[in-house]
Structure 1
């Protein structure tokens, strides 16, 4: 599509990755593999060009071959352009690409961007983050949540078991969905709150299991239920591997047992399981506003290496 001297179009294939990456972001090294695996498709990777100069770009990511776009996770602008031109260009590219990629009766996918942990304190980082957010806000997006991205690194001590809890493998989907339903009470997670605005806790837990937990190909015996010595469930932890890293996919303590420090025991067990497989890192995320969970990760030796901005259209 040509607007005056500006061309907006998707890449033709892998042969244009060099052009697409003239504006850079941390996912660039994964693009070729994601294209090969079907997690990205050329028609989802759009550029705004003036001649052969790349002025803006965006791309969607999916969770697997043959699936629809799941996340708008690349959106970059040429920061040498004047602010008004840069913001307008971003809006035009988002709207043009979205109209071509997302069916008209389908909700827009969430937007995600990884940013430095102290991005507000760095003038250049703040300018980059805020320009993307402002462009998206002008298309109707709003901030859902800012999240901490954290990781455990080999060599970090893992606390020895305290002996207060027992651990056993999760007994299938029904048990985990039941536990996930219970921990939604009093949740501080913004995505969970958004789900609960549209469905019951049981429905939200079942949907999250089917959409996320069931996709992990790592061993299910890693998934652990924490119990009292008498066998009553206290919480659970889901250590797993996604397509890129070992992760703590989900962790929770039931409301009746909160406030006793059990989260430290549960997190240590999940960390111990993954660390036993000589992983180069273990990653996790939690909302910036979920202070109790963030502090638990900090006590366990996890470090905040970046943040994530999530925006939605609603």
Structure 2
């Protein structure tokens, strides 16, 4: 790698970043130009690896305006033309050099298409980036899947449960305190980085534009058994929070939350879930959700 040059971008070099062929064009994500325009991407947080003026690796850390946290690695692409192993070595050098300038390693959210493991050409790209991340001192912490519901019939309720709006913030907070671990959290990473909020423990501190009456409570008789925070006040309609006190209400609470958003005019609803929650993944799919992407999470060792 004697002829490899690794450096940050300077203002006005956006075209240099985009000159590299996108190895995952099927992945829906914000463009670099839009990120620069919105203030989330910055030249000093964007690094490239060059060979004879050709970009063979690029990395862009994202920090939304007004954020209280640190930037996270959002875009990381490598040229696999020479060989996967060589590309991973370039990527590791790129990350290590950038980490030194950024004050140390940062979290990396490796965005990948849905079912990426089943597609050999996509898997090779993913494995090269992941190998580079490991060589640079990052450790895999898990995978989160983003789902999307885009219309279609919802499962019919069984009649066993009833649903109503939350009475007020106090009722929501009381239920959140009883729910050990929500099964759906959408945008948890952004809430933590932007506002320092733990979406699982204090969702209303992040969902400030969502009135308490928009939250949905599932009941078995008079006893609350589930809580959902569907919101259309974020960047797109989503189920930001869904927690259970009775696992059997999951499917019906999902359907109720989607129906609440669709009734307000939503044409698409997204939801994020940890990949290891196999039952939740299956229930989302039964409710009509489809996988649209995965994010494998890497953190400093």
Instruction: Tell me, yes or no, whether TM beats 0.5.
Output: yes
Residue 118 (str. 1) matches residue 115 (str. 2) = yes
Determine if contact 2:177/2:201 at 8 Å carries over to the other structure.
no
**How many angstroms does 1:68 deviate by?**
4.0
The residue that corresponds to 2:243 in the other structure is: 252
TM-score, structure 2 normalization? 0.82
Inter-CA distance 84–265: structure 2 relative to 1 (3 Å threshold): closer
Question: Map of 1:198-277 to 2, 5 A cutoff?
Answer: 207-208=198-199, 213-216=204-207, 218-220=209-211, 221-230=213-222, 232-241=223-232, 244-254=235-245, 257-258=246-247, 261-277=248-264
Give the Cα separation in 1 of the matches to 2:31 and 2:204.
23
Inter-CA distance 290–300: structure 2 relative to 1 (3 Å threshold): same
CA RMSD of aligned residues (A): 2.8
The residue that corresponds to 2:98 in the other structure is: 97
Inter-CA distance 62–177: structure 2 relative to 1 (3 Å threshold): farther
Determine if contact 2:184/2:239 at 8 Å carries over to the other structure.
no
The residue that corresponds to 1:195 in the other structure is: none
Inter-CA distance 209–45: structure 2 relative to 1 (3 Å threshold): same
Question: Map of 1:71-82 to 2, 5 A cutoff?
Answer: 71-82=72-83
**How many angstroms does 1:125 deviate by?**
1.0
Give the Cα separation in 1 of the matches to 2:202 and 2:3.
43
Determine if contact 1:23/1:56 at 8 Å carries over to the other structure.
no
SS in 1 for 2:49: strand
The residue that corresponds to 1:309 in the other structure is: 296
* Pairing partner for 2:266 from 279, 300, 311: 279
* Pairing partner for 1:12 from 4, 10, 13: 10
The residue that corresponds to 2:189 in the other structure is: none
The residue that corresponds to 1:139 in the other structure is: 136
**How many angstroms does 1:240 deviate by?**
2.2
TM-score, structure 1 normalization? 0.79
Determine if contact 1:39/1:65 at 8 Å carries over to the other structure.
no
Give the Cα separation in 2 of the matches to 1:242 and 1:44.
29
SS in 1 for 2:238: strand
- Listed as ranges, the gaps of 5+ residues in structure 1 are 191-205
Residue 179 (str. 1) matches residue 172 (str. 2) = no
Determine if contact 1:226/1:235 at 8 Å carries over to the other structure.
yes
**How many angstroms does 1:98 deviate by?**
1.4
